[in-house]
Structure 1
Amino acid sequence: MAILDDKTAQSQRTRIGRRLEDIAIHILNQFLNSHDIYAVKGERNPLVKFLKSEVLADCLIEYNKLPVKNSCRQKQIDEYPDTDILILYHLDGDWKILGVINCKVSFHSREVMVTFWGLTVRISTNIKYVCLTQDADQYRKKRSELGKSCDESTSARRLLESFTDGIYIIKNYASTDDPELKADIERFKGFFDQLDDLELVRMKSTTYFDDPNYEHHTAYCQKVRPFDDLIFDILRWKLESS
């Protein structure tokens, strides 16, 4: 296998990461838009395009920023957290941030950055901060970066469980046009559409968008869940914020 130079490797990681973001947004919007909840990339241009307002996009970005100290200049500056996807709720003509999704195809020690922002966001606002991952090493290296279970966990899992609102695992779909993804969306839709509002906010633990039976998949626990649960949890966030 050819060894990639740093620039090429980083470009490839960025492309794969954006694919994960696109897939997550595609699935979430299929089921949440009818509840006035929207998943949008957490960058200015996609927000402006979605909201059709530079002013409104800038307001949401500013609200999501956090103060950090610059010791050299003795100044406080505002830093935008690692925000791959924003979960927005449209209420009485206003847009509110329900949560932030940090997407990681794999961690490779980058869980520290996720947990830093997770802790900082959670102690300063009521915004939920969660991590979405394919846990790609279970396919490439035949082991999960989260360990086998809570009892046989890795440092990454313990940190993520402690300092984020949840870790959600999703299958390794090729794209938003992946036939398997289309089939999973249709299967989940058949189940989702049968639920009433009360059942929607109580529902947990379907696995249409993850495969816990894969040989090297980690075991679920209270904080490590299938992607399906994120859909139901976001509906609960809306209920809690109302």
Structure 2
Amino acid sequence: MTNFVLVAGAWLGAWAWDEVAAELRAGGHGVHPLTLSGLAERRSEPAPGQQTHVEDILAEVARLDLRDVVLVGHSYSGVPVGQAAVRIGDRLRGVVLVDANVPVDGESFLAGWPSDEVRASIAKNDGFWPPLTADECAGQDLTDEQSARFIDGSTPHPGATLTGPAVMPRPLSEVPGTYVKCLLDGEEPWGAAAELLESDRWNLVTMDTGHWPMFSRPHDLARVLHRSVTAP
């Protein structure tokens, strides 16, 4: 049985995967949504660094003694998911990155894109990145209800996880994976994601939706995840 470990991006917790998880379970998969330290129901914990989030993922795989694992990282969480993926050995079946940042050894989540505004916001908000507003979610294929659910459930994101460097003992291109590009958030993968897709162990899937497909197109995303482990 394939075991999906689902890790959402900035501001979000395990709850963000509810609809996707239900469909994957109906398809016979093991599904384990994970809330990272300092977020959602874990927001009262001490503010973590990025390596804490890597350890969160490794600890969950070990705690549940999971095998045949597919690690799924969305947006920010592609960075800790990618680091965990190269460290869990033969437990790993593959990786799926959903419109995600790709970890590069020694670089942070904020590397490669204009980040002065984010860094200033973190400094102004006691070390946390505030959640988005409704206006900032516009144009991402979210209904008013979906946008409200996203915003209402979001919690401030620990800033140190965004600014700390990734530690990659080997390249992510050495493990099998799928990159899901959400077209309303840009038509093509860029930077480290584009480089990753040069590997013959990785393939590209596109979705005609915005950056948060677990809200806007949960059933389509579940089918993409299912196909990632059933396609020849």
TM-score range (shorter-chain normalised) is 0.3 to 0.5
When normalised by structure 1's length, the TM-score is: 0.33
Task: Pick 1 or 2: higher relative contact order, CA cutoff 8 A, min separation 6.
Answer: 2
Structure of higher CA gyration radius? 1
